[in-house]
Amino acid sequence: MTDPCRRATQAYSRGSRSYTDPRRLEGDVLLQVAQRLDDLRRRWSPELSAELEPALLHNRRLWTIFAAEMADDTAGLPLELRNNVASLAVFVFKRSLELLVKPAAEPITALVEINRSIAAGLLAARDNGPEAVAAGASAAA
């Protein structure tokens, strides 16, 4: 698998040439990470523990960005939405640490579902506004 940092750099450099909706970019990245985690969950065996750690790290980095955005009072997002996303970030961090200590397939499911729910809200928000993001965050919470 290629270096995720290089892929991100390439994605951002492509984005600088043409406008990419930030919600679409975030939604797409969430779906990519969810797919990677779900693939590991479906193929799970103890030998895959080595692949789980970088996948979890990628997911935590993404959620660290979301948590930081939710802490920004100038973001223009409703407080309830910011609180829901921040709570999800805390859950993602805790579940990731649990998986690092005791790798298993089943606990990965929650991370996959959260990423997919938030991605669905972000991608729907392009057409339906911030209410769709709030609905995705509430459904995942």
- Is 5 inside any structural domain? no
Residue 9's pLDDT is 65
pLDDT tens readout for residues 117-139: 999 999 997 666 555 555 556 55
- Is 72 inside any structural domain? yes
Distance CA 119, CA 115 (A): 6
Conformational region of residue 76, where left means phi above 0, alpha means psi within -120 to 50, and beta covers everything else: left
- Is 75 inside any structural domain? yes
Look up the domain containing 120 and give its range: 23-140
Residue 116's pLDDT is 98
**Helix crossing, 108-128 with 130-140: angle to 10°?**
160
Among 17-26, 58-67, 90-99, name the one with the lowest average pLDDT: 17-26
Distance CA 114, CA 63 (A): 11
User: What is the secondary structure of 74-109 as a DSSP string?
Assistant: GG---HHHHHHHHHHHHHHHHHHHHHHHS--STTHH
pLDDT tens readout for residues 15-46: 555 667 888 999 999 999 999 999 999 999 99
The CA-to-CA distance between both ends of the chain, in Å, stands at 31
**18: DSSP letter:** S
- Is 40 inside any structural domain? yes
Alpha-carbon Rg for the chain in angstroms: 15
- Is 90 inside any structural domain? yes
The count of structural domains within the chain is 1
- Is 51 inside any structural domain? yes
Residue 52's pLDDT is 96
Nearest to 113 by CA among 45, 41, 11: 41
- Is 4 inside any structural domain? no
- 84 in Cβ contact with 141 (< 8 Å): yes
Residue 95's pLDDT is 98
What six digits make up the tokens of 110? 């929650």
- Is 10 inside any structural domain? no
